[in-house]
Structure 1
Amino acid sequence: MVPGGSAEKKADGKQAAKESSIRIPNPNFEKMKEDILYHFALGTGTHNFPALFGDVKFVCIGGSPLRMKAFIGYIAAQLGIAKPRNDFPNICAATDRYAMYKAGPVLAVSHGIGMPSAAIMLHELIKLLHHSQCSNVIIIRLGTSGGIGLEPGSVVITKQAVNAAFKPQLEQVILGKSIFRSTTLDKELAEELLECGKELNQFNTVAGNTLCTLDFYEGQARLDGAICSFTNEEKMKYLKAADKAGVKNIEMESSVVAAMCNLTGIKGAVVCVTILDRLQGDQITTSHEGLEEFESRPQKLVGHFIKKRLTQK
């Protein structure tokens, strides 16, 4: 027995109350002798996860590897992490599935397009964080989206990710049965990010629901895909119904981010910039330079949030 007995346990209990560990709701997990994170090209038998990732507190995820590489350089500069140019190597360079970069307590990981790709990445990311003995981790998706009634360039903090029927749930078919999982995101974190947007005061920042779809064209009520099974009138009726349901933007990953964070006890958020107003059309007409500036806005907001959080400690 450890000297001090009950006093030591009491102190440990207080520490546990302060720290939020990562849950792995899989009864088979602890039986694994070795865990190979295939799509990251990492494994518990070949890498020392606590040494590599034990200090991670913020994980920022986004679709594009290039965008994540740009973000890690940006956040490193914001946090004053001095390293030579391009000295943030891709930790997952042995695979072409995803890219991963690290700067101090911040990990940036690409997730590809759509919920299936994001889900695969999140399964392995969450296991990586657990193996690394991380605690109090926050996962934030940064991305682009189509707006609903918002000027292009607005940044949306997601309150709930909703499905095509505007319900805050993700349906997954597992062993032939439909399982429904909550897609409501952490309220306090969303409010804190919204406040950061107001503090920056550089662009319009709002909170609202995000419609998460299974594809970019018909699923998002677009008329410009290779296939279209509805009229412009039907499209507008649907988008106006989304607006009435509190939907501020449309993208393709928020539901799985919310569901998996909820199941594993991780605080999650989604911060996306709108690159067009879908009530005005389907085609993106903003210039390349304008889009690049829009895409930097979630980075600036989340960078401000991370820097503020670290300064408060």
Structure 2
Amino acid sequence: MDQDILYHLALGSGSHDLVEMFGDVKFVCMGGTPKRMEDFAHYIMKEIGYKIPTGTQLMDISQYSYRYCMYKVGPVLSVSHGMGTSSVSILLHEIIKLMYHAKCKDPIFFRIGTCGGIGIEGGTVVISDNAVDGMQDNNYAVATLGKIVKRPAKLDKRLVNELKALAHSDDPYDTVTGTTMCTTDFYEGQGRLDGAFCEYTEADKMEFLKNLKAKHNVTNIEMEIVPFAALTHHAGIRAAAVCVALLDRLRGDQIGTPKDVMEEWQSRPQVLIARYIKKILQVA
């Protein structure tokens, strides 16, 4: 093809000088919402001491895609991936191609997000060391040309350990590692009782969740980890996912934590990722 149009990012290999724009990227940080990733862009800018030229400001590079947001802060790319496996898959395909066209050297990918915990307190930070789907399969399955193609959902174990080592003993919350389950549905797929439809009992739900913890070491549940792990692994990209638990699913389904508390909780994965980036960049 004459050029590669990265449609959902409002970029293209023919319309933009991608090497000039993105060639220095070392870290790609992604999360669900545009607001969270805009906030992270401003936060990481302060943390690494990056200064933009006087009279300019951070700009959403992909604003005219009307799909995802993207901010660049020196060597850090902050991107939203939306909600669910399909949305993060689309974003990853195009971000991986962007890294290729920009000739980026060994970028590291992070997912920064939220999740529901199993047997852990709200506010706990979870570093995923394994990824499984709703059937406890650690493969990403996609129907391709009428056939199921499976790719292993593997995360970088060394990166997991490096992140865990950056958790401080005086942090006012726990940072743990564990298996993360990725579902294709927020309500029935996660065993919630408060969806529009619920054809199982509370006892069924509790048995399911306790079994996830006891037999499969599932620590948290979200909706993006399997494609994130599989596509980055398939591309040979080091990747890790760090999420904060918004509640313990063994205690309920609805999130009733006050907004100000939630905002502080959601900053916790960002703090850990910032520590890692600063360490690699050797920023005090």
Normalised-by-shorter TM-score class: over 0.9
Matched, 1:147 2:137: no
Q: Aligned-pair distance for 1:202? A: 3.8
Where does the alignment leave 5 or more consecutive residues of structure 1 unmatched?
Answer: 1-31
* Deviation digits for residues 187-214 of structure 1 (CA, Å, limit 9, x no counterpart): 0001111111236634210000001000
Deviations 1:83-106 (A, max 9, x none): 369811000121210000000100
Q: Which residue of 1 aligns with 2:42?
A: 73
Name the structure 2 match of 1:295.
Answer: 266
Query: Structure 2 residue aligned with 1:127, among 97, 116, 119?
Result: 97
2-structure distance, mates of 1:79, 1:287: 30
The structure whose Rg is larger is 1
State the partner residue of 2:22.
Answer: 53
Shift of 1:265: 0.5
Alignment partner of 1:273: what SS?
strand
Q: Are residue 254 (structure 1) and residue 225 (structure 2) matched?
A: yes
TM-score normalised to structure 2 length: 0.96
TM-score scaled by length of structure 1 = 0.87
What is the RMSD computed on CA atoms of the aligned residues?
A: 1.4
Kept in 2: contact 1:200–1:301 (CA 8 A): no
Structure-2 separation of matches of 1:197 and 1:146? 20
Q: Structure 1's 34 and 200: CA in aligned 2 closer, same or farther, altered over 3 A?
A: farther
Alignment of 1:6-85 (within 5 A): 32-83=1-52
How far is 1:168 from its partner?
A: 1.6
Determine what percentage of the aligned residue pairs are the same residue.
Answer: 48
Distance 1:144 1:131, change over 3 A: same
Amino acid corresponding to residue 119 of structure 1 in structure 2: S
Q: Would the alpha carbon gap of residues 199 and 55 (structure 1) be closer, same or farther in structure 2, given more than 3 Å must change? A: farther
Hey, what does 1:222 align to over in structure 2?
A: 192
Shift of 1:165: 2.2
Are residues 1:117 and 2:87 paired?
yes
* 3-state SS in 1 of match to 2:210: helix
2: distance between equivalents of 1:267 and 1:91? 24
- Does residue 196 of structure 1 match 2:196? no
Unaligned runs of 5+ in 2: none
1:20 equivalent in structure 2: none
Q: Distance in 2 between matches of 1:60 and 1:107?
A: 6
Partner AA of 1:274 in structure 2: A
Q: Counterpart of 1:180 in 2: which secondary structure?
A: strand
Q: What is aligned with 1:16?
A: none
